Structure 1
Amino acid sequence: MLKTMFCRTRRTMTTWSCALLTLLVFVGLGFVLTILLEGSQAPSYAPQLYKMQSRIRAEAHHDNKEETDNKIHTCSPRSKYVFIATHKTGTVTTSNVFQRYAIINKLAVLIPTEGNVLSWGVSPVEEDYIHTPDEQYDAMWNHFTYNKTWLRSRFPADTAYISIIREPSNQLRSATNYYYLPKLMKIKSKNPVKTFLKNPWKYKKLSEAHYAYCNVTWDPSRNFMSFDLGYPAKGAEDEERAHKYIRELETDFTLVLLLDYLDESLVLLGRLMCWELQDILYVHKNNRHYSYKTYVPSQKELANLRRWKAVDYLLFDTFNASLWRKIAEQGKDFFDEVKHFKEVNTQVNTYCSERQKGEQNLTVAASKWSSQFEVDAEFCRIIQSVVRELLQPVQKGHERGRKLLSEKVNIKALINGQPTFKYTTERENYLHMAKSSKKTKSEGKIIKKKQNINEDTKKGGG
């Protein structure tokens, strides 16, 4: 029938032409039918172009290998990052995440020559940090007053900038205890936070601390977190400037974690950085206790604090909204992963805290979000360490007597009527000279007293 139809439409075609055309039509129809039949039976596969195998440690045995192998990743792990460790925001806990990742992945890090403070108030000078041979760096996680220009001159353009903040009233309570603020502001009460919040402006002249060595005025009771992120203390009441600066921070930072939602923040960090579950585990550290730690301010006190810490509240409100906006973009299984993360983190914490010498390693099974991994003694040692313990072996041999003095020591110095210094050696020299001077004065008084006694004796004997 097909032969007759085609030949009728082409009366001029030869018999051989008709036969050849008919053959080609039948072959084509057969090919199409084969494709259709195979397509209806074959399974559907994700394009291999977009598939990246899970990062699985070579030594790990996989019970859920099929499930893990079927994970489809659309990202590669990011290994260039700067973590700005703000103050009294849980950074002793969270810095370990970034430090651990750098150690395990052998990254080139920018760290201070001594101690944990890389900068405060002003940017570091060349002698303040350990230089790599090529001046190229992958990571940083120390206390550092954010300076975009300085950092971008040392880190590549694709660096992820990360920090952490917390609800400002919680940060104030922690800072009040840690920085001797009741003594600084001469508040004598069992609950100095409650006393302060009745009228913060009453203590303004006392709470402002001037660091003469760098000509920086800082108020540890006011916009502390904003100061750490580069906003000047003198801009505390400049609303327009604050809005502009915080909009810039939103552009600069890949993610700002919230201590108040740490688990959600870290799971989001893991997704944005394409890190494994074991990379974002943590152990709580520096959990201090003081009488007013759990104090909840009244609505009136919080209103006063919102006005007093206006820039910090703007910072928190901005990145609180940003965090939940980013989480909303992650899909329906995000909170299932958070739940799984909490369970694994508790499991690892318990194992590491109770682990006995020679005990078998803990195997954490694979899940839809992570590959299987093992927790051994070395992993426990690193995750339980504080920053300075892991820094000291790296810093060994680079010490130049240039350890930065912490802002806490300088606050105490101001309370005692002493000057502030940038380096510990400068303060040590000052204290030595002061002690020598005091000793000289004391010896002078003793000599003078003896002379007076001798003179009185001579007069009595005459």
Structure 2
Amino acid sequence: MLGWVMCRRVGPLWMWNTLLVFGVIAFASQLLGYIFNKSSSSIQLAAHAILSSSDSQGPSLGSCSPHTHIMFLKTHKTASSTVTNILYRFGEEHHLRFALPLGYQLGYPLPFVANRVKGYQSPGAQEFHIMANHLRFKKTEVEKVMPADTFYFSIMRDPVAIAESSFDYYKATTPAFWKAKTLGDFADDPWKYYNPRARNNHYARNLLWFDFGMDHNANFSVSLARRGEALIRHTFKLVLMTEFFDQSMILLRHALCWPLDAVVSFSLNARQRKLGGRGGGSGRSQSNPVLSEDQQEKLRQWNAFDCFIYDAFNRTFWEKVDKFGKSRMEEEVGLLRKRREALTRLCLRDGGKPIEAHHIRDKTIRPYQSGLVKILGYELQPGLDNSTRIACLRMIRPELQYKDLLDAKQFPRTRGQQSDHRIQTDSGLMKAGRGKSEPV
């Protein structure tokens, strides 16, 4: 009788077992949720601490005011895509207006004309803050777009390294490279492959000189080279050096009066390294083995104008470093690298190692591919809060996608126009593959 009464009060055993299981699950869920939320909160607090750290500002810049009118001559194969990302980020964060191209380049390789800028009407009719897409420089036309107080700067790289990168990247679109098995073969006898009248052959000779708007096929003379150097110096207040990128960023930060984090970057448009390449994303492909000293010297002679201005502005660069102070430069470069390491840990998966595009799960941040070698990109750390993810994404977003984003913000479209734009974008990318609109 007692057993029957107890059975009636507590119910069947299976019901209690079921309730117990559900209770354990509920408790575990609450516990895991608490742990997850606590962990997520800890990650968010750590991210906020990194992003808002006083280190992000860097050493004091004094009483200067940040430059917001900037023209960057984006030269080819010089790490200029990384510099463009820096300008894109700063402009987006401060709601500045970009002088954007109708496609992906400002009429390149033709000399720049003002009406290649989207939204341009007439000189002074509208304010543009930043110009940073590829163009072949023509000062009188740039001045129609950019205000009188614009800060002009550019970047240069050792012409032999440019030739190595250019051969890999533009082999399919540059007639001078088509029949040359290796860059060494081309260097041994350039005139065997080079036709000065062939389209896109500017990628094969004096590419820096060409980008600055001068005749890359002219016969070299010191007097002509000096005149070109003087023209560059008259306009460009700072010329960065790819091989000394971190020092360049410190000089740029002080010239623009920007905080340290504004010039912290991850290397973009880096090529996959093969056969022990150089630094700065200039790894050699299977078709571009190590050049002999004789072949390197031949390339210097072939690119004599580029070598002249590179040597001249390399000397000027180190004069600026000396004036800045070598110990002061070493200190600020150390702070820059420390910030890059901190942001790498915060933002990037796998220790920040660049990976092949097809391994990047987010298709919207896969870099554009061209040439003989693969262009690498990055993946973000999972679990970032929204504001941190936005900040990190800006640092790794490839140039083409970033340009499209800025374009969409600056020129909002209706739904129908967005559909048309996607078609035009796809067309632009296909043209890029044929060498008509190379984006980097």
TM-score bucket of the superposed structures, by smaller chain: 0.5 to 0.7
Paired letter, 2:253: G
Q: Segments of 4+ in structure 1 off by > 4 A? A: 58-65, 68-72, 181-184, 355-361, 398-411
Q: Secondary structure of 1:234's match?
A: coil
C-alpha displacement of 1:357: 4.5
Distance 1:173 1:90 in 2: 14
Using the aligned pairs only, state the percent identity.
23
How many residue pairs get matched? 333
Deviation per CA, 1:222-272, whole angstroms, max 9, x where unpaired? 101110111122325244222201111012112111111111101110011
| Residue aligning to 1:289 | 272
Q: Structure 1 residues 299-308 or 140-149, which shifts more? A: 299-308
1:109 paired to 2:92 = no
1:78 paired to 2:67 = yes
| Equivalent of 2:132 in 122, 135, 141 | 141
Distance 1:276 1:200, change over 3 A: same
| Residue aligning to 2:184 | 194
- Is this contact kept in 2: 1:116–1:388, CA < 8 A? no
- Is this contact kept in 2: 1:138–1:155, CA < 8 A? yes
1:385 paired to 2:375 = no
Paired letter, 1:328: D
- Is this contact kept in 2: 1:114–1:395, CA < 8 A? no
Q: Structure 1 residues 342-351 or 263-272, which shifts more? A: 342-351
- Is this contact kept in 1: 2:108–2:437, CA < 8 A? no
Q: Secondary structure of 1:329's match?
A: helix
Q: Secondary structure of 2:217's match?
A: helix
- Is this contact kept in 2: 1:120–1:407, CA < 8 A? no
C-alpha displacement of 1:381: 0.9
- Is this contact kept in 2: 1:77–1:274, CA < 8 A? yes
- Is this contact kept in 2: 1:85–1:143, CA < 8 A? yes
C-alpha displacement of 1:276: 0.4
C-alpha displacement of 1:389: 1.4
Paired letter, 2:336: F
Give runs of aligned pairs for residues 294-309 of structure 1, distance below 5 A: 294=284, 295-309=289-303
Distance 1:283 1:143 in 2: 20
1:338 paired to 2:328 = no
Distance 1:188 1:218 in 2: 13
C-alpha displacement of 1:203: 2.5
Distance 1:284 1:185, change over 3 A: closer
Q: Return the TM-score normalized by structure 2.
A: 0.67
C-alpha displacement of 1:101: 1.0
| Equivalent of 1:327 in 321, 328, 342 | 321
| Residue aligning to 1:428 | none
- Is this contact kept in 1: 2:188–2:295, CA < 8 A? yes
| Residue aligning to 2:358 | none
Paired letter, 1:157: A
| Residue aligning to 1:261 | 244
Give runs of aligned pairs for residues 9-158 of structure 1, distance below 5 A: 71=60, 73-124=62-113, 126=115, 128-131=117-120, 134-158=125-149
Q: Structure 1 residues 310-319 or 111-120, which shifts more? A: 111-120
Paired letter, 1:297: L
- Is this contact kept in 2: 1:118–1:129, CA < 8 A? no
C-alpha displacement of 1:172: 0.4
Distance 2:405 2:58 in 1: 38
Distance 1:250 1:198 in 2: 33
Q: Structure 1 residues 223-232 or 121-130, which shifts more? A: 121-130
Distance 1:126 1:188 in 2: 38
Distance 1:127 1:329, change over 3 A: closer
Distance 1:225 1:289, change over 3 A: same
Q: Secondary structure of 1:235's match?
A: coil
C-alpha displacement of 1:359: 4.2
Deviation per CA, 1:189-228, whole angstroms, max 9, x where unpaired? 4xx11222223233233xx3534xxxxx743221011101
Q: Return the TM-score normalized by structure 1.
A: 0.64
- Is this contact kept in 2: 1:86–1:164, CA < 8 A? yes
Q: Secondary structure of 1:173's match?
A: helix
| RMSD value, Cα | 3.4
Consecutive unaligned residues of structure 2, counting only runs of 5 or more, are 1-47, 276-282, 350-379
C-alpha displacement of 1:91: 1.9
Deviation per CA, 1:19-68, whole angstroms, max 9, x where unpaired? xxxxxxxxxxxxxxxxxxxxxxxxxxxxxxxxxxxxxxx99998869xx9
Deviation per CA, 1:127-149, whole angstroms, max 9, x where unpaired? 65233893221111101111111
